[in-house]
A and B are shown apart, each in its own frame.
Chain A
Amino acid sequence: MTDFNEIKETLVNLDEQRLIELVNEALEKDIPPGDILNKGLIAGMDIVGEKMENEDMFIPEVLMAAKAMSKGVEILKPLLSDKETQTRGSVIIGTVKGDLHDIGKNLVAMMMESAGLTVHNLGVDIAPEEFVRMIKEKNAGILCLSALLTTTMPMMKQTIDAVVESGLRDQVKIMVGGAPVTQAFADDIGADAFASDAGSAAKSAKALVA
C-alpha cells in the first residue's frame, strides 16, 4: 500500500471496523505509523472537513468519522516516536463567561483534534482569568473563544483584553466563533481569525500554527 486512498475513503465512508482492519494491515506491511497517521487518517479527516464546510456531509456523519479516526489513532499512538506524537500545536478552547452553549464549540474542538492539534477543552462559562491561566499552564499557541448569545459576545472582547494585560498576547493566536459572531466583529475586538464552521476553524487553526 503505497498510497493511502483506501484508508482515506474508508474514513470518509464512516466504516470504523474496516478502518481498524486497514490500519492493522498497514502496520503488518511495515508502513511507518507516522505515515499512516498523517497521510492516511489526518488526510482523510481533511477531506471530511472540506465536505463539512461545503455542506456535503451531515454533522452526525462528521462525528462518526472523528470517532472512527480516534480508534485508529489509539492503535497507532503506542508505536509513534516522541517526535511524531508532538502535535502541530496546543489549543485552548472554551465558551466565554455567562454563556452555557457548547455544541458548536465541542465540534470545533473535535475537528481540531482530528486535524492533529492538541486541544484543551475548558467547557462553558469560562472566566477571562481562567483562559489566561490555562494558556500559561498548557503553553498554548491558539486560543479559541465561543459565544452563542448576543448578550455574551462582549465577554469575548473582555477575554482578549485580559490576555493582552497578562502579557501573553504575542504567544497566542486568538480565534472566535459562534452563531452571531462575524468577521467584522472579530476584527473589531482584535481577534486574529474568525471561522463560521468547525471545518474551516480547524483549517484556519492549522494555518495559524504552520
Chain B
Amino acid sequence: MNLMGLQDGQYRPLSPEQIETVHEASLKILEKTGITYEQGLEDTVQLLEDNGAAIDRDKKNIKFSKDMIAEQVARAPEKVVLCGQNPKNDLHLTENRVHLGTGGAAIKILDPKTGKVRSTTLKDLYDVSRLVDQLDNIHFLVRPCIATDIDKADYDINMFYACLAASSKHVMAGVNDEQGLHNVIEMASMIAGGPDKLAEKPFISVITSFAISPLKLCTQSTHIMQEANRNRIPVALSSAPMAGSTSPLTMAGTLAQLHAEQLAGITICQLTRPGAPLLYGGIPGMANLKTMGYSGGAVECGMMNASIHQLSNHIKVPNYNSAGLSDSKVPDAQAGYEKAFTVLLASMGGANYIHHSAGMLESMLTIAHEQFVIDDEIIGNACKVLKGIDIDAEHLALEVIDSVGPGGNFMTSPHTMAHMRKEYYNGNGVTDRKSREKWEQDGSLDIRQRALAMAKKLLAGPKPSHIPEEIDKEIKEKFNILL
C-alpha cells in the first residue's frame, strides 16, 4: 500500500488570522530586535548589508526590513524534489504533501541481542539503514545514529557512505565541516555521474543548523549552508529552540521566534544563490523545566509542529520538522502513545518532511531495531488517516447492497474481493489481532518481541549494496571507508 506524499490539512491549530498575526510578529522581531552572529561571518554579514540589511558591527546585530525578507523569501522554490537512488523513492515536497522518516543523531542503541543499552557504531548505522530501506512506510533516511567508534576526520564520509550503501531512499544528514561537505558531494557525484546530475536528482541533502536559538547565527553551520547552496545541494535549515529555555515559554512566542529565525536563514540562502532549493527547518520543541532537557514526547510538540508547517506554507516554502519522539527509555506503552500523538498531529497538519519519526527513544539519544518496525506501523496508520474516506458510486456500493439484499452478507461479494486489500490499512505484520488462544500458541509474544523478530528477519535477508560495484571500488580507493 503506497501511503507516501498524501495531501492533507485536516488539523489546523492556527486560523488564517492567527497565521498572519504570528508572521507579522516574526517580521517585527527581525526589524526591531534583529539577530546576532558569531565571529567569522564577515562575508555573510557583508552580503546581507549589500542587500539592504542594517548592520551594527559593534553590537554584532543584523536587522532586516519587511521588504527585504519578502523579496528574498519569494525566491525560494515552492516545490523541492528530494530523490532516492531509486526513483520510486523520490519525494515531491510541496503544499501539504506529507512524508515521514527517520532522524536524529542518537549515540545509544538497545542492543538487538542483549536488549541492553550500549554505544552506537558504524555497523549499527548500516544495519538500521537496511531496516529503513525495507520498511515501506518510512519514506526517507535521515541518519538516525552516529558512529561513536570512528575518528572525527572519517566521520562525514562514512555516515553518508553507510546510508547510501544500505538504502535507496533519500539520504539526509548533517556534516561537521566544509571539508566533510566537499567529500560527501564528491562521493555522491561519483554515484550520480557528475555534479550536474547530482544537482538534477539530489539523492542526498544536508541539515544545516545555522541558528543557535535565540536569534544567533552559527559560523560553522552558516558556512556549510552557503557552501551547499553554491553546490546546488538542498539544505534543511534546522533551528530547534526549546520553549522555556531558548525561546519563550509560550507556544505562540516560540513559533514567532522560530519563524523569524527561518525567514533570516532563507534570506541568507537566497542571497547566496537565488532559487537555492531548501526546506524551512523550524523545529519547535519544549524544555522539561525540571531538568532543562528536551521533552520530545510532549503532545504540544505535535501541536507546534503542525503549526510551524502552517507558517512555512504561508510563505510557500516546503518544510522539515519533527514528530515521533518519546521520552521513554524502552519501546513501551508510553513510547507508543507519545509517538502516535505527535506523528498523527504533524501528519494531519500537512507537514512535508517529518523526521525523527522512526526508531528513536529517550528523546533523541537512543535507537532500537524493534522501534523502527513499530514506528513503521504508527506512520502507516497516520498516513492512512490522510487518505480519508472515498465517497463515490463505487465506494458507496449501492448496487452491491441491493444485490446482497437485507439479511445477507458481504463476505464473498466480488465488491469485497475488489476492495479488501485497498480500503483498509493492513499493517506491516507487527500488530497482534489474533485470538488469545492462537496468540498463546505462538508464544505469547508482546509487541517488542514481535517487532524484534521481524527486524531480525529483515536483516537476515540479502545485503545488496545500492552503490554500483565499480563506483564502490573507486569510492574506497579515494576515501577512508571503514565499513
Contacts and interface: CB of A to CB of B under 8 A. Distances in A.
B289 A58 contact: yes
Contacts of B212: 100
A82 interface: no
Interface in A45-62: 52, 55, 57-60
Interface in A18-60: 52, 55, 57-60
B291 A151 contact: no
Contact of B365 (A52, A107, A180): A180
Contacts of B365: 179-180
B241 to A, nearest CB: 11
Chain B residues touching A, majority SS: loop
A180 B246 CA distance: 19
Contacts of A197: 291
A98 to B, nearest CB: 9
B290 A59 contact: yes
A59 B107 contact: no
Contact of B290 (A57, A103, A150, A179): A57
A26 B244 CA distance: 36
Contact of B148 (A58, A107, A150): A150
A150 B146 contact: yes
Nearest to B216: A100
Contacts of B148: 150
Interface in B131-171: 146, 148, 152, 155
A104 interface: yes
A107 B152 CA distance: 29
B293 A179 contact: yes
Contact of A151 (B146, B245, B293): B146
Nearest to A198: B292
A150 B293 contact: no
Contacts of A55: 290-291
A116 to B, nearest CB: 23
Contacts of A103: 245-246, 292
A104 B155 contact: no
A104 B292 contact: yes
A154 interface: yes
Interface in A156-210: 179-180, 197
Contacts of B69: none
Interface residues of B, number: 20
B76 interface: no
A59 B244 CA distance: 10
A51 to B, nearest CB: 10
Residue of B212, B245, B292, B294 most packed against chain A (CB within 10 A): B292
Contacts, number: 36
Chain A, interface size: which category? 10 to 19
A58 B290 contact: yes
Nearest to B294: A179
A59 B152 contact: no
Contacts of B105: 150-151
Given A55-B290, A60-B289, A150-B146, A100 B218 contact: yes
A166 to B, nearest CB: 23
A59 B146 CA distance: 30
A145 B176 CA distance: 21
A67 to B, nearest CB: 16
A151 B38 CA distance: 20
Given A100-B218, A179-B365, A180-B107, A151 B290 contact: no
Contacts of B155: 151
A53 to B, nearest CB: 10
Contacts of A179: 293-294, 365
Contacts of A180: 107, 365
A57 B148 CA distance: 35
B292 A107 contact: yes
A154 B292 contact: no
A60 B249 CA distance: 11
Interface string B211-226: 0100000100000000
A119 B150 CA distance: 35
A114 to B, nearest CB: 16
A103 B245 CA distance: 8
Contacts of A60: 244, 289
Contacts of A59: 289-292
A154 B152 contact: yes
A55 B290 CA distance: 5
Q: A-B pairs with the 5 shortest C-beta distances?
A: A55-B290, A58-B289, A150-B107, A59-B292, A180-B107
10 contacts: A55-B291, A58-B290, A59-B289, A59-B291, A103-B245, A103-B292, A150-B148, A179-B293, A180-B107, A197-B291
